[in-house]
Copies of this chain bind each other. A is one copy, B any other.
Amino acid sequence: MMSFEISLPPWAVEENQLLPKFIPDYEQRMRAVIRFAEINLDKKTGGPFAAGIFEKNSGEVVGIGVNRVVPANNSSAHAEIVAISLAQKKLSTFDLGGPGMPDYQIVVNGRPCAMCCGALPWSGIRSLVIGASGERIESLTGFDEGAVHPNWQQELESRGIEVIENVLTEEAEVVFQRFRDSNEPVYNGRSGDDLQ
């Protein structure tokens, strides 16, 4: 009882194995990430979010993770946390920005929430590529993305993380529109509360 484990669903393990070793183009990286988010929604294996970790310059694929909150009974199992954790395990380090490491990039289909924005500086990630904006996620889906810092881009940049927004935004938003039209849960905490 004093440990917990978070796993990718079987389809995502297979899809990771089928990815090319390198995806040089940022839009192609985003397209792969959006596809994982879409399948995660279709297969009902988590929320409509995915995150991929890539070696920024070469495009070498480290892995793509997906949101696992509901199936894993874990409110912190957002795609970014899952992808960063799997990458850190694969590379045997808690700091992807450690000595001798290349620059690693995280590619996400939607702007990271307050938790995941906060997770990035700790992770050693050096580059963030975003599809849909936080405002669009909230208006399309009903998720409350939390108290993201008003100057989150500058706060990340000042910690050595470049921020690249609006990559394949329309394709990214389609998944959130499909989520809105599904009956999948909007799993903000406190569902027993009248704040909901």
Residues of A that sit less than 8 Å from B by CB: 1-8, 12-13, 16, 63, 69-70, 72-77, 81, 84-86, 88-90, 92-101, 113-126, 144, 146-152, 155-156, 159-160, 187-193, 195
Contact yes or no, B117 A147, CB < 8 A: yes
Chain B residues whose CB sits within 8 angstroms of the CB of A195 once the complex forms = 159-160
Contact yes or no, A88 B73, CB < 8 A: yes
**26 interchain pairs (CB within 8 A)?**
A1-B89, A2-B7, A2-B12, A2-B63, A4-B89, A69-B94, A73-B89, A75-B119, A75-B124, A76-B76, A98-B190, A98-B192, A100-B192, A115-B116, A115-B119, A116-B118, A117-B147, A118-B148, A121-B189, A124-B190, A125-B189, A126-B190, A147-B151, A147-B155, A147-B156, A150-B150
The residue in chain B whose Cβ has the minimal distance to the Cβ of A10 is B2
In angstroms, Cα B7 to Cα A71, docked, is: 20
Give the shortest distance, in Å, between A94 (CB) and chain B (any CB): 5
Chain B residues whose CB sits within 8 angstroms of the CB of A16 once the complex forms = 2
Given known contacts A8-B2, A99-B192, A124-B190, is B119 in contact with A94 (CB within 8 Å)?
no
Contact yes or no, A191 B95, CB < 8 A: yes
In angstroms, Cα B94 to Cα A195, docked, is: 17
Give the shortest distance, in Å, between A97 (CB) and chain B (any CB): 4
Contact yes or no, B94 A73, CB < 8 A: yes
Chain B residues whose CB sits within 8 angstroms of the CB of A13 once the complex forms = 2
Given known contacts A96-B189, A189-B95, A191-B97, is B147 in contact with A152 (CB within 8 Å)?
yes
Contact yes or no, A121 B86, CB < 8 A: no
